[in-house]
Each structure stands twice: as C-alpha cells, then as structure tokens.
C-alpha cells in the first residue's frame, strides 16, 4: 500500500495542527448558533472525526452518502444514496467534504438543502484542488489547497482503497493503471 504512494503531501501532524486553526475559525463564526454538520460520506469520515472534536459548540451530526466518481474521473452525475433526507429547515448547516474538485457534489447538495429551507449553508473541505475551469460553488473553509493531482489517504480513496492511510499522498501511475 505504501509503495503505491509517489509523494506525501500532508503528514498527520500537519493536518491536525491545521485543523486546530480551522476549528478555531469555525467556532468563532458560529458562536451562539446551533450547528447541524452534514458530513459527506465516505470520504470525509476521518476529517469529520478530527475536526468536530476540536469544535466546543453544541452541534448535531448527520451523514449523507453520495457518489460522482468512478476511478480517478468524475462522472459528472451526483447520486444521492439515501432516498429521504433529514429535515434541515431553519437549521444552520455546515457541509463537510474531503475534497473540492469540480464542485459538482457540493453544488448539488447545496441546491437540495436550500430548497429544503436551511437557514444558512456553509461548506468546509479538507482539500481544494487547483482547477482551471470556474467552479459552480467554492468552499467557505479550506484546510489545504493542492495541485490538480489524484490524492488518497486520510479518508480519500481510489476505487475504495487507501482511506485508512493516516496522511494525504499522491498515488503513483502504476497504482492508478492497476485500478483501471
């Protein structure tokens, strides 16, 4: 598994100290409000656990399962795995995702939540990829900006593998080819 990683971008200690800062920012912004955090599965489960334990505010957590990726390519179509969503009417929603790439996933979820009557919707991502095209949605909170390369670890997968790596790293070409 480790031999499939070409380069480590962020070690666990680097991620955790950045999450201290991000959690502090979120705590300041939401003080006095009740937050509903919606974590987008599966990719954000590690990020969610580490970030939320650093936010000392009353909050509720819900998880949403969607998929738009197949291998290293976005299919461009966002599928909700749940047929029924919880009620987010009059809630301050903070959406958590592992990575902002095309932005289609967060855009589709935002649309869905605002039509459900959420009071406010902000988005928080661990990683934001540099892309050339204009995104439909940007993130309000970003832990790290990264180059446009396919990354795995700390929750992120390639065909469902590598999510348990404690760091974020770039997958090498051999490993990508093997999974195609």
Report, as residue numbers or ranges, the catalytic residues. 101
- Which pairs from 114-122 meet CB under 8 Å and 24+ separation? 116/85, 116/87, 116/88, 116/89, 117/88, 117/89, 117/90, 118/88, 118/89, 118/90, 118/91, 118/92, 118/93, 119/90, 119/91, 119/92, 119/93, 120/92, 120/93, 121/93, 121/95, 122/93, 122/94, 122/95
Total interface residues for Mg ion by CB under 5 A: 1
Interaction pattern, residues 36-75, with Mg ion; x per rule: CB under 5 A: -------x--------------------------------
**Stretch of 4-12, 13-21, 88-96, 145-153 lying at the interface with ligand IMP (CB under 6 A):** 145-153
**CB 146, min distance to ligand IMP, A:** 8
Q: Which of 15, 101, 123, 168 binds ligand IMP (CB under 6 A)?
A: 101
- Longest CA–CA span in the chain (Å) reads 50
Does residue number 102 form part of the binding site for ligand IMP (CB under 6 A)?
yes
Does residue number 50 form part of the binding site for ligand IMP (CB under 6 A)?
no
**CB 45, min distance to Mg ion, A:** 10
Q: How many Cβ atoms are within 10 Å of 56's Cβ, its own excluded?
A: 9
Residues that bind Mg ion (CB under 5 A): 43
Residues that bind ligand IMP (CB under 6 A): 43, 68-69, 74, 97-105, 150-152, 156-157
């Amino acid at each position: 598994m480790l031999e499939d990683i070409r380069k480590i971008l962020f070690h666990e200690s680097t991620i955790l100290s950045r999450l201290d800062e991000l959690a502090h920012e979120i705590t300041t912004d939401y003080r006095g409000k009740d937050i509903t955090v919606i974590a987008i599965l599966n990719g954000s489960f590690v990020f969610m656990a580490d970030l939320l334990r650093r936010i000392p505010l009353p909050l509720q957590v819900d998880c949403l399962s969607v998929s738009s990726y197949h291998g290293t390519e976005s299919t461009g179509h966002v599928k909700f795995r749940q047929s029924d969503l919880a009620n987010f009417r009059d809630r301050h929603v903070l959406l958590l995702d592992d990575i902002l790439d095309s932005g289609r996933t967060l855009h589709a979820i935002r649309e869905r939540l605002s039509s459900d009557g959420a009071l406010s919707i902000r988005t928080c991502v661990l990683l934001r990829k540099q892309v050339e095209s204009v995104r439909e949605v940007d993130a309000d909170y970003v832990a790290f900006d990264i180059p446009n390369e396919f990354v795995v670890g700390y929750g992120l997968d390639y065909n469902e593998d590598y999510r348990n790596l404690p760091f974020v790293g770039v997958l090498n070409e051999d490993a990508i080819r093997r999974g195609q």
